Amino acid sequence: MKTPICPTCGCSLVRLGIAKGRAVTRKYREREYSFCCDECAVMFEKNPEVLLSETADIVVCPSCLAEKPIGQTLEINYKDKKFNFCKCPHCIAVFRKDPEYYIKRLSGEIEFSGIFSERQGCCS
């Protein structure tokens, strides 16, 4: 499942409450990347290949939105799609109660106010 992850710091934009229209974006090699803040975009421009390789295997748990290297997750199939969980039994249990909600939230279809919803953004 694709979910927006900052290619500089590896943070889930969904977890931070940064909708696609509010994300900082940059193009690199004909592809658009979304960042959590201007500072991450600037850092990316200085060394994109290194940062892309460092964040390439990061996935996001659909339930708690934790970012993890894929090797530290548990993969579960749902409707012929693979989802990676943080290994917490609670996360898997809540996902199974309402999988469509968590899938839509993970993909950014459902707005999530984010962990910094009471304050400014992560780097502001």
Q: Distance (Å, rounded) from C-alpha 47 to C-alpha 83?
A: 30
Burial of 4 (0-12, 13-18, 19+ CB in 10 A): buried
Q: How far is CA 16 from CA 11, 29, 39, 76, in A?
A: 8, 26, 15, 24
Q: How far is CA 61 from CA 45, 72, 113, in A?
A: 28, 11, 17
Q: Provide mean pLDDT across the span 6-15.
A: 94
**What is the pTM (predicted TM-score) of this model?**
0.85
Instruction: Using the predicted structure, report yes or no on whether residue 119 has a pLDDT greater than 50.
Output: no
3-state secondary structure of 72: helix
Render pLDDT for 42-92 as a digit per residue (tens, 0 to 9). 999 999 999 999 999 999 999 999 999 999 999 999 999 999 999 999 999
Predicted local distance difference test score (pLDDT) of residue 110: 85
> What band does 117 get if pLDDT is binned at 50, 70 and 90?
low
> What band does 120 get if pLDDT is binned at 50, 70 and 90?
very low
Provide the 8-state DSSP code for 5.
B
Give domain limits for the chain.
Answer: 13-107
Render pLDDT for 25-43 as a digit per residue (tens, 0 to 9). 999 999 999 999 999 999 9
Whether the CB-CB separation of 12 and 108 falls below 8 Å is answered with no
